[in-house]
């Protein structure tokens, strides 16, 4: 047996295995390719689709709410929350949840408080801000979701999601064109309607957005700890208590007509659909991604304006819509 060099020995072994060096080396991924694969985030299609369903449900709720603006707001919201509480309780019973005590899990209650306070603060802050200003501030939800997901759930918040979040925020600014950036609104707010200075109202809106983001973080945290409808129950139960307390303090209850009851029932269905689809979305996808896809809500609102009210977007609005649509389509393509 003659001695061979290391290269000759390796060549002989490869010949015995009936393969060549390129066949073996091709199976070993290059470091650059492996690193590139690791850096590309993978998105879940179901999470994105459930988020889109939540957005559509939200548009439906807005349409029903605008159906008859003369209806008493406090009474309609109270009845809506009560309807949703009862319907959710029935669904829980049907799914085999017989213990009411389990519905008052500490994290469920905290989730309900976050969502209820967020809604209340939103209405309070929006009274002293224009709609475009309130919408612009609320558009920071995706950013809050990414930050809170990173802090509390240790979820990855890659650079691409941060860039898309910033791009979507720019798109929203171009669409709503807030007065503090683009000049005064065509319909400025009357002084007597303002409840607080503008900068305080802005801080209230930011707090409302942060609480809604925390509510979504809590939903994702408890996703595997109980029935999905338990969270929806707490959202509506807490809201009912707060609304009833407000009416008692106000000392005046207005009787609703059949249209008021029907509107409240439809709002309850829409509210359950929004919450359920958001919970399911957070089961499949991170809060930062859900926040990004939620920017598409303003796109559907624009489509309703065009198809129903024949109100066409301006050039800047079209640019903003294009940015948001492109960002959402990018995420959906990544999920495919």
- Write the pLDDT tens digit of every residue in 267-282: 899 888 887 888 788 8
**Position 251 pLDDT exceeds 60:** yes
Report if residue 13 sits inside a domain. no
CB 280 within 8 Å of CB 50: yes
Of residues 52 and 292, more confidently modeled: 52
Q: What is the pLDDT of residue 318?
A: 79
Closest alpha carbon to 125 in 210, 239, 222, 29: 210
Report if residue 39 sits inside a domain. no
CB 321 within 8 Å of CB 332: no
Average pLDDT, the chain: 75
The count of structural domains within the chain is 1
Question: Could you tell me the residue range of the domain that residue 217 belongs to?
Answer: 90-235+267-335
Report if residue 220 sits inside a domain. yes
Of residues 142 and 10, more confidently modeled: 142
Q: What is the pLDDT of residue 336?
A: 56
Q: What is the pLDDT of residue 234?
A: 85
For residue range 295-309, list pLDDT tens digits in order.
777 777 777 767 766
Cα–Cα distance for residue pair 100/105, rounded to 1 Å: 10
Q: What is the pLDDT of residue 335?
A: 60
**Position 213 pLDDT exceeds 60:** yes
Q: What is the pLDDT of residue 192?
A: 41
Tell me what the mean pLDDT of segment 229-258 comes to. 86
Return the DSSP state at 243. Answer: H
Report if residue 27 sits inside a domain. no
Element (H, E) at 144: helix 141-152
Report if residue 137 sits inside a domain. yes
Q: What is the pLDDT of residue 12?
A: 42
Cα–Cα distance for residue pair 328/47, rounded to 1 Å: 12
**Position 292 pLDDT exceeds 60:** yes
Give the number of other Cβ atoms within 10 Å of residue 243's Cβ. Answer: 22
Q: Could you give the percent of the chain with pLDDT greater than 90? A: 4
């Amino acid at each position: 047996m003659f001695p061979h060099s290391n290269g000759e020995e390796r060549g002989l072994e490869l010949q015995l295995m009936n393969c060549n060096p390129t066949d073996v080396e091709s199976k070993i991924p290059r470091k650059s390719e492996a690193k590139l694969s690791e850096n590309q985030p993978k998105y879940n299609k179901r999470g994105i689709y459930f988020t889109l369903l939540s957005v559509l449900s939200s548009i439906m709720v807005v349409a029903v709410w605008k159906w008859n603006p003369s209806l008493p707001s406090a009474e309609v919201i109270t009845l809506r929350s009560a309807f949703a509480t009862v319907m959710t309780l029935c669904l829980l019973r049907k799914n085999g949840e017989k213990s009411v005590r389990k519905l008052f899990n500490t994290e469920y209650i905290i989730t309900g408080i976050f969502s209820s306070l967020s809604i209340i603060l939103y209405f309070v802050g929006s009274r002293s801000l224009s709609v475009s200003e309130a919408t612009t501030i609320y558009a920071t939800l995706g950013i809050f979701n990414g930050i809170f997901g990173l802090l509390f759930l240790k979820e990855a918040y890659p650079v691409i999601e941060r860039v898309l979040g910033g791009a979507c925020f720019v798109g929203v600014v171009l669409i709503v064109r807030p007065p503090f950036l683009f000049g005064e609104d065509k319909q400025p707010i009357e002084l007597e309607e303002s409840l607080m200075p503008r900068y305080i109202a802005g801080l209230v809106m930011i707090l409302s957005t942060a609480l809604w983001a925390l509510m979504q973080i809590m939903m994702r945290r408890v996703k595997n700890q109980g029935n999905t409808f338990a969270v929806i129950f707490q959202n509506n139960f807490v809201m009912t208590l707060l609304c009833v307390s407000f009416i008692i303090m106000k000392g005046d209850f207005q009787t609703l007509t059949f249209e008021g009851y029907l509107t409240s029932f439809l709002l309850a269905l829409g509210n359950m659909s929004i919450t359920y689809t958001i919970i399911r979305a957070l089961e499949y996808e991170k809060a930062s991604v859900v926040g990004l896809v939620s920017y598409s809500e303003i796109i559907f609102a624009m489509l309703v304006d065009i198809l129903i009210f024949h109100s066409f977007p301006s050039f800047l609005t079209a640019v903003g819509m294009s940015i948001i649509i492109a960002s959402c389509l990018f995420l959906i393509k990544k999920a495919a």
